[in-house]
Structure formats: structure tokens, C-alpha cells
Amino acid sequence: MAATVVRGQNVDIRMWTRPDEVEEFAMQQLQNISALPWAVKHIAVMPDVHYGKGATVGSVIALRDAVSPAAVGVDIGCGMAAVRTSLTASDLPATLRGLRSRMEAVVPVGFGQHKATAFTERDAADWTPFWRKFDDLTPAVKARADKAMHQMGTLGGGNHFLEVCLDTDQQVWVMLHSGSRGIGNELAQHHIAAARKLAHNAELPDPDLAVFLAGTPEMAAYRHDLYWAQDYARRNRAVMLRLVCDVLRADFPHIRFEEPISCHHNYVSEENHFGEDVLVTRKGAIRAGRGELGIIPGSMGTGSYIVRGLGNPDSFESASHGAGRKMSRNKARKTFTTQDLAAQTSGVECRKDSGVVDEIPGAYKDIDTVMANQSDLVEVVAKLKQVVCIKG
């Protein structure tokens, strides 16, 4: 669909969804973001847009010499990874409960962490330099080094997941969604609080949108910690993918894996748009430069998509990060039952208890509608449907 332009305060708001379908609080957030004096050109709003802390989920913001940590989100570097295997549906056992159990045994979920570190030289050649950089992070997290090391290669909870999927050719994929775990959250919270105290943010319409300015010690400290956390999140997904692929290798010794696809969807990137160098924050959005592969998941009972970016300049070369919630977790728990969850996840080997009712497909927007709304942002490479879904 063509984007709809809504008049903003300092810049306009360009939306890949109908404005009347966006919740009132989210629209107010977008207006607040549009008032930022550092905003460039317009605010790009993805079709999975919904209310979030500080900045709206599904927003892409280009700022001149400034960055808002709330416009990145508290799970710095959250994103996706996926890999296509040589297996087909016919290779899988009739019941997938055993496979799910073996995957859960190697990837801790929820608040779980590894008893021993899970990263090895197989994942990257520079683990030692990476961990040495921990000493240069803000002193507020210095006591968290051991926890950060043992959470590397863990899933977390909420909307994070690990799946085995089939594409329309019945080829088996592994796909997962996770971020920078507790350490990324603590870094984000620290810097959001620090930004709120700066004098230049005193008159902003929403204190959570507080920014750091280029050339200041606060900006330098945030970007240092931010880029480390983004790297942590990328490595975290790579470690989990390796652990799950090892499970599949044990079950299927002749399995082969293609090159993995990986993308952040809560992050900052230094880019050039409309002839200007800017800092782009994508909160609930992936980069979709021309030819770039990305992953757009649905909910735990619906399909997901592997996509190729079309490089649309009006979206700052971005696309949605998923289906997007249409109701809060509290409302989902009040609206749906475990019987509803079982019905909506029929055919998927997954949890069907009250602990994940808030992740029921009915709490999310329709992923196919979301994809139709961004046909000028990405093209579909593959559609996937999960047969195993693991959640914390």
C-alpha cells in the first residue's frame, strides 16, 4: 500500500497502515516523536505499529546529531535469526515432543541461564576481545559480568521464541527471536534515566523521548554501551542457533545448513538518507535496503516470512519487525483461555498453558495483512509455518 501522510509537529508522520487503526496512545506517541527538533524529513511508521514505552513500537526515526535511547527500546539489539536446512518435513518424526525437549535442554528459557558458558571458538574468533570490552561499560553494570556471560546463548521470555518451521516447499528451517538479555536491559534503563536529567530535554512533550546530543560525553558513553549490547544480542542469537543446529546434527547426521540470516529490530544505525548523515533508530523495525534479507515473524500459531528489502527511501529503507500486538498482555489474559490457546496453536508442538496465554495468536495483528501493507517495502522470499515453538 502507499504510505499515508499525517501532519506532525516538526516533521510529518508517514504510515504504512491506516491511521484510524492505530490506538490513540500510539498516535499521541507518534505526534510527540514528530515534535523532536532533531528529526529529519519525517517519521516512518510500520504496519505493525503499537504503543511502547517512550517511543512507539514500529517506528523508524532519523535524527540529526542526536539519539533517543527510548527510541531503541530496553531490549537493545533484539532481533531474529533463521537458517534453512537440507531436511524436509518427511525427515521429521511423527511426534515432535522429543525434538522440542532436546532443544529446550540446550537453550535455557525465561530467567534461565547456562551453568557453564555456552560460547566457543566455533561461534567467533574474537570472544576474548569482546568480553574485555565489558570492563569499559558504564560502572552501573560492572557487577553483572558473570550473569552476562552465563546468559549468552539464552532465549528469555515474553515474545521471544525458538521454532522449527516448514516453508511452502516443506523444507525445514530453524528460526529464533531474542535480544541482549538482562545486560542490554540494564544498560538501556541506565541511559534512559541519564538522558531524562539533561537540561536540553526539559521541554520535550514526553520525558521518555530524552536524547543525547552529538559531541557530548553522555552521547559517547551511550553509543559505546549500545554498540556493545547490539553485538551481544547478535552473538546471543548465533550461539543459540549453533546449539539447536547441534541437536539436529545429532538426530540427522547428514543434515546441511545454508548461510544463516540475521537482523536486529531494536537498534541504532549510522546511515545516509535524503543526502544527510543521520542516526536511525529502528524500534520494532528491520532494515530493508535493496536486496537485503530479513525476517518478519507472525505469532506462535501463524506464519512468518523471509523477505528481501526493496530499499524504499520513504521508509528509511525499513520494514516491520513482525505482526505487532493488537492488545496488551493483560487484556489477552482476560480475553483468552488455555482452551483458546490450544485451538489457535493446533498442530504446533508448544506450550499450551496459562503462562503463555498472553502470546496467543489472537493477541496479535494478522501477519498477512501486515505484509500486504508493506508490499512496497519488501518482497517475500519464503513463507514459513512453525511445527515446534519454544517459549519461556
264 is in an annotated binding site: no
User: Which three cell numbers mark 28?
Assistant: 499521541
324 is in an annotated binding site: yes
273 is in an annotated binding site: no
Q: Please tell me the distance from the alpha carbon of residue 372 to that of residue 2, in angstroms, as a whole number.
A: 11
297 is in an annotated binding site: yes
391 is in an annotated binding site: yes
199 is in an annotated binding site: no
10 is in an annotated binding site: no
355 is in an annotated binding site: no
289 is in an annotated binding site: no
160 is in an annotated binding site: yes
DSSP 175-234: EEEE-SHHHHHHHHHHHHHHHHTSGGGTT-SSGGG--EETTSHHHHHHHHHHHHHHHHHH
Instruction: Write the single-letter amino acid at 181.
Output: R
Q: What are phi and psi of 339, to 5 degrees?
A: -65, -40
328 is in an annotated binding site: no
Instruction: Spot the catalytic one: 50, 150, 264, 321.
Output: 321
321 carries an active-site annotation: yes
298 is in an annotated binding site: yes
CB 154 within 8 A of CB 391: no
Report how far apart, in Å, the C-alpha atoms of 327 and of each of 127, 204, 242, 354, 373 are.
Answer: 40, 28, 34, 17, 20
Q: What does DSSP assign to residue 144? A: G
Q: Please tell me the distance from the alpha carbon of residue 202 to that of residue 233, in angstroms, as a whole number.
A: 32
User: Which three cell numbers mark 214?
Assistant: 552529538
User: Which residues fall in the annotated binding site for GMP?
Assistant: 159-163, 265-266, 297-300, 304, 321-324, 391
Catalytic residues: 321
- Can you say which residues are annotated as belonging to the binding site for Mn(2+)? 75, 160, 177, 265
Binding-site sequence positions = 75, 159-163, 177, 265-266, 297-300, 304, 321-324, 391
